[in-house]
Amino acid sequence: MASTQTQWYDRKEVSAGTSWTFTFMSLMVKFLPRPLLVAISAIICFFFFLGAKPVRKNSMAYLNRVAKVTGRKKPTLFDSYKHVLSFVLQMLEKQLSWMGRLKVSDLENNAEREEFLKYITSGHGAILLTSHLGNLDMFRSLGDISGNAKIKNLRICPIVDIENSSRYNDLLRKLNPKLMDNIINASNIGIDSAIMLKDKIDQGYLVVIAGDRTSAKNRDRTVRAKFLGDWAEFPEGSFILASIIGAPIYFGVGIRCKNFSLNSKYEFMIHKATTDFSGSRKEKKQKIQALIEEYIGFIEEHCKEHPYQWYNFFDFWEEKEQES
Amino acid sequence: MEDLNSKIKNVIISSLELEDITPADIDDDAPLFGEGEGLGLDSIDALELGLAIKENFGVSFTAVNDETRKHFASVNSLAAFITANKQNG
């Protein structure tokens, strides 16, 4: 388990590229029309895909399970290619969003989201549990982090694994220096971070943390739960944090309506968790389990609808796929 | 100082619902965290205790680093930190 995890993180850095590819990528994003960007990505991605057997394998492990639970036909290698291409497009899309090229009008209307926005932009703190499904940066970039805020009073405090994606973050920081404001390093959460987070919540920040974060450095304790039909291990840390802070907990996902277009509309779906953490500490274990199951239910629903937008190429499941 | 120490111990016991432990059982210098030593609190306990201390003593941080974490090693170091934090604030 440990060694496959390490490998994955090594690989992630490779797949994300070196700094000159990043520079190249950001120049492309800046100057090329979006349909051409998609075409170029499709070609580059094809060669990457040929050479990245472990990525293919983990992508298939995920796609097979989606097919099984939805009763769709078994995925082919081409489906796996589409999955990886979708991941590449998401990286470009993040850059677009940080350059301020995405607009609120790119978002589809959604009543639950409006209610959520009303709540958090009126000075209330909350916790948003996200995942590697879709792109939430898109939403963050619309918030009150730049001088030309598009959604007023949206103050976000993201908890991010800084070490893991440093190069990519460097690039995003260049695009928008405000990106690293209020960021909390996930690989260094402890007793003092809880105090700081509580401060942020009291000041009305939205604390954002991914629930499917698999850390290369800290081997977090995990909780067993069924994900897409099979037993999987989810890191417990984010859920524990959510459970003790005493603020409303939301699940969120940002999805491109069209999988392979950078001119797509976006949907931002939000769901308020119903698990209640008041009461005795002794029930906490079960309640955390309930929260994780509720969270998995939420992401599963959207994985089934948008299978290619799941960007966590990590094999969560206990039962491994056969080599093919 | 003595008073603050026992107050801290009471906060530890009540916030973590440690039923079999009395303030007298907690050594002022014993490490609070880590397996097999002192109270042996785990990471969930750490987060909850952090919040309880904030609520009861009004401490806050603007940054988090290895230095800040040292304050939570034992009851004595915690007491020293709370006293200093109050004076600054």
pTM value is 0.84
Which of A255-264, A280-289, B55-64 is the least confident region?
Answer: B55-64
Contacts of A184 in chain B (CB under 8 A): 64
Number of domains within chain B? 1
Give the domain range for residue B14: 2-88
Contacts of B71 in chain A (CB under 8 A): 192
**Tens of pLDDT, residues A214-254:** 654 455 678 899 999 999 988 888 898 899 888 999 999 98
pLDDT-based confidence at B87, cuts 50/70/90? low
User: Do you know the residue count of chain B?
Assistant: 89
Residue among B16, B50, B60 whose CB faces A191 most closely = B50
Contact B60 A193 (CB under 8 A): no
Contact A191 B61 (CB under 8 A): no
Contact at 8 Å (CB) between A174 and A197? no
Question: Is the alpha carbon torsion for A240, A244, A246, A247 positive or negative?
Answer: negative
Contacts of B78 in chain A (CB under 8 A): none
Separation CA A90–CA B63 (nearest Å): 32
Residue B23 is part of a domain; what is its CATH number?
Answer: 1.10.1200.10
Contacts of A125 in chain B (CB under 8 A): none
Contact A196 B60 (CB under 8 A): yes
Q: Which residue has the higher pLDDT, A146 or B34?
A: B34
Q: Which residue has the higher pLDDT, A61 or A161?
A: A61
Mutation for testing the B interface, residue in A157, A189, A192, A218 having most B CBs under 10 Å: A192
Please list, in sequence order, all residues whose beta carbon lies within 8 angstroms of the beta carbon of residue A137, skipping any fewer than 6 positions away: A94, A97, A98, A172
